[in-house]
Structure 1
Amino acid sequence: MQNINFDTWKRKNHYKFFEKVDNPQFNICLNVDVTNFFKFVKSNEISFYYSMIYASTYVMNQIEDFRYKIRNGEIILHDKLQPSFADMGPSENLFKIVSLDLESNIIEFSNKAKEKSIKQTNYFPETNVNQDELIYFSCIPWISFTSISNEIVMNKEDSIPRISFGKYFNDNGKILLPYSIQVNHMLLDGVHVGNYIERLQKFLNEI
């Protein structure tokens, strides 16, 4: 973890520009091609949901801009991010939020995520988790959405990325996944989200 000198930070002016708005969050929705990724998941008999969480977190950790967070007016660069995801058991229509570290490989992570989710009895996150290191994940596997909104915390320092998946669908021989990403404009612009999506698509294609 590293505290950034705001006066010499290259994003200082952009930060101050978006600091003036009431809610600096912005959201982008798109379809990502998971054709090859889907085959990988099925052949290894692991969860598609947990595996997409791994892929998204792994790629986001490779981009420094996404690891900047705002805390008490200061800019902090974190060493890593970890996922915190909504999950639902088979017996009730109530979700729980599960958080865990990213494992060294996708298969190990998927198995550990499944194990922790099954064992976890509380609905909401552990209080000892560093919120600044989290990425929030959710999934609406019943709907192939074209747009989605998230809950809003009216706090300009809220810099936790929010990623949502929808129901994947077939389109001309490809399997596409509705994918939403929400970030804080004080820290990130469209170019950063574009870079992230390009890297994520490359990961999904080449795994």
Structure 2
Amino acid sequence: MASHPVDLATWPRAAQFRFFRNYDRPHYAVTARLDVTAVMARKAAGLSPYRACLHAIGAGIHAVPELCMRFRGDDVVRHDMITLSMTVPTQAGAFGYAYVPFVADFGRFDAQAKALIARTAAGADLAPNDGERDDLAYLSCMPWLDYTAISNAMPGPQDCIPRVTWGRIVDQGGCSDMAMTLEVHHALVDGAQLGAYFAAVQGALQAF
């Protein structure tokens, strides 16, 4: 898919981009609780809560242009489509990375994600991104924990690929919720964009 240069002369965040661009510790993470009651109500009918969350995360990322932006030196580009790269437990007892292109139609996305995740689970390769791609978002589910905060390992301050983590789904007596964390580079994303992301993800989760 195509990427497009961002015009720094007209981009409202250009000053913030330049201010945070070369910070030693430019990443920050925000955790919020999301309602997944509608998703869990459809689990008995065959809906995968995991893949439903994947799709909602993809919808949230694509609803916020800044989450699709990446560095090109001192410039910025915006990708039309972001591929979701998630950790997948393997049959060997480790994990590998799957790469699932986002598709707005859930039925198509679900079938594609199920097949690609199964392929990764059956393999033995880690298959990490070697740095050639930045049209990605990194995803990781922590179903063992109902956590309150989390941070990710980062290769350095030049990495601007968003990280999304979500935790165990908790029954709250008639409704269900979970923690979700978005970790971003401050040169590209402010609090307003995080708020828009979480609102879009919540909307997608409630639409099931």
**Equivalent residue number for residue 25 of structure 1:** 27
TM, length-normalised to structure 2: 0.89
**Equivalent residue number for residue 119 of structure 1:** 119
- Separation in 2, partners of 1:126, 1:187: 21
Question: What's the secondary structure of 2:93's corresponding residue?
Answer: coil
**Equivalent residue number for residue 7 of structure 1:** 9
**Equivalent residue number for residue 106 of structure 2:** 106
Q: 1:144 aligns with which of 143, 146, 151?
A: 146
- The runs of at least 4 consecutive aligned structure 1 residues that moved more than 4 Å come to none
TM, length-normalised to structure 1: 0.89
Question: What's the secondary structure of 2:134's corresponding residue?
Answer: helix
* Residue-by-residue CA offset, 1:103-154 (whole Å, 9 max, x unaligned): 3422332232222222232222466x96221010001111111111100121
CA shift for structure 1 position 165: 1.1
* Structure 2: runs of 5+ lacking an equivalent: none
- Separation in 1, partners of 2:202, 2:17: 28
CA shift for structure 1 position 101: 1.3
Identity of aligned residues (%): 24
Q: Once superposed, what is the RMSD of the aligned Cα atoms?
A: 1.9
Counterpart AA for 1:24:
P
- Separation in 2, partners of 1:40, 1:186: 39
Q: What are the equivalent positions in structure 2 for 1:66-145 lying under 5 Å apart? A: 66-89=67-90, 91-120=91-120, 121=123, 122-125=125-128, 131-145=133-147
Q: Is the 8 A contact 2:22 2:157 kept in 1?
A: no
* Residue-by-residue CA offset, 1:37-77 (whole Å, 9 max, x unaligned): 2223442x132212211111122212222211112221001
- Change in CA separation of 1:140 and 1:102 when aligned onto 2, cut-off 3 Å: same
Q: What are the equivalent positions in structure 2 for 1:31-46 lying under 5 Å apart? A: 31-43=33-45, 45-46=46-47
- Change in CA separation of 1:184 and 1:67 when aligned onto 2, cut-off 3 Å: same
Question: What's the secondary structure of 1:132's corresponding residue?
Answer: coil
- Change in CA separation of 1:42 and 1:180 when aligned onto 2, cut-off 3 Å: farther
Question: What's the secondary structure of 1:97's corresponding residue?
Answer: strand
Q: How many residues align?
A: 203
Q: Is the 8 A contact 1:50 1:113 kept in 2?
A: yes
- Separation in 2, partners of 1:139, 1:23: 24
Question: What's the secondary structure of 1:98's corresponding residue?
Answer: strand
Q: Is the 8 A contact 1:3 1:77 kept in 2?
A: yes
